[in-house]
Amino acid sequence: MNQSERYNRYALCREMLETPAVIRRLDTAEIEKIRLESDRVLLSGEGSSRIFPAKRLVAQALRGGWPVRVYTEAALQAMEYSLRGYHVFVTSNSGRTAEGVGLIRHLRSEDSTDERSGAPAAITGIAAHDDTPIVRESDSRIVLQCGPEDAVAATKSVMEQALVYDLLFRNILGFPPPERSSLADLMGEVLRSDLPESLVTPMVKAPLVYFAGRNDGVAEELTLKTNEITRKRADFLEGTYAVHGVEEVMRADETVVLVDPYPSQEEKFRQVLCDGVGMKVIAIAPRDTIFPTIRVPDAGELTPYLLLAAGWNLLVEVGLAAGIDLDKPQRARKVGNELTE
């Protein structure tokens, strides 16, 4: 992907290529004002506002043995939980997502006089627009700085939401901030990388694309982006689920994209998927694998950002090769379920 007319005519590509600048220039003053009101944290939101930003942070917290318990759940299911005594973050690019607004109002109303069940949840709203319900009705707020997105598929806002969580919790816990300038440089390289036709063509022809990887939001977010960008059916296979029975219904004309596969399981994937099913398998990883691989730099804890960016690059090439108008899906909307009141 580059600045040529082939890509620049689409808002989707322009917004993807704006992401490194969003990362580099982010003003952290508003983020640094947030104070954590509990060691129990729930990160909520819908679709792209939750999948990568929240799940990446949950995985990071568990790997790092953080002294806070971080969970994530979509808003409607979160309403079924007892969240008194939690600090709840509700993220929505538009600030008007109906489920997120509903969760905030639910937390404001439930058992407000029953002190035995703990203090009411503290709520932080994160949105790209200031005068919106998710910002107005929260105890504290963060307004995103990435600017408006014209493409239906969220891209630069997803990265900023993830980075906001990263910066916020590192600041609260006294950890060093991420090297944003380096991340921005590396992401620019990944987004502008030329991809060989041999990696793109199998996905163009595939009626269904599977993304297999960790439950850290990368593979799952790319599954959603495959629907939105390439108009193809896609499925997320967590961990090694791809070799635990689903192969029974896989077909040779389908494709699997392995996101940073476990080295110890690569041969098993080859035996089951390539030899057994006869399907094409490619990988996105910070190292070589036994499959055709899109390499990204190894950036330690920040590598998931680069894996996601590499997946964006791949999906753009697939969409263009398939003759898709990247900015005009037939059914998908920018705000999936907008508050109407």
At 119 the pLDDT is 86
pLDDT at 331: 65
Six-digit token string for 78: 């979160």
* 318 close to 4: Cβ distance less than 8 angstroms: no
Cα separation, 174 vs 68, whole angstroms:
13
Number of H helices, E strands in the chain: 13, 10
CATH class of segment(s) 29-176:
alpha beta
**Cβ–Cβ < 8 Å for 240, 247:** no
Domain ranges of the chain: 29-176, 183-321
pLDDT by residue for the chain (341 residues), tens only, comes to 988 999 999 999 999 999 999 999 999 999 999 999 999 999 999 999 999 999 999 999 999 999 999 999 999 999 999 999 999 999 999 999 999 999 999 999 865 445 556 789 999 999 999 989 999 999 999 999 999 899 989 999 999 999 999 999 999 999 999 999 999 999 999 999 999 999 999 999 999 999 999 999 999 999 999 999 999 999 999 999 999 999 999 999 999 999 999 999 999 999 999 999 999 999 999 999 999 999 999 999 999 999 999 999 999 999 999 999 999 876 665 566 666 66
* Helix-helix angle 303-321:51-64, to 10 degrees: 150
Q: What is the DSSP letter of 272?
A: I
Q: Which CATH architecture has domain 183-321?
A: 3-Layer(aba) Sandwich (3.40)
Q: Is 220 helix (H, G, I), strand (E, B) or coil?
A: helix
Which residues, in sequence order, are CB contacts of 101 under 8 Å at separation 6+? 133, 134, 137, 339
Q: 183-321: same fold as 29-176?
A: yes
Rounded (5°) CA angle 221-225-227: 125
Q: Say what the pLDDT of residue 201 is.
A: 94
Tokens 């104070």 correspond to 35
pLDDT of residue 113: 46
- β-bridge mates for residue 40, sequence order: 69
Q: Do 157 and 146 meet the contact criterion of CB atoms below 8 Å apart?
A: yes
Supply the Cα-derived Rg of the chain in whole angstroms.
20
**Would strands 293-295 and 280-285 be described as parallel, antiparallel, or unpaired?**
parallel
Q: DSSP class of residue 104?
A: H
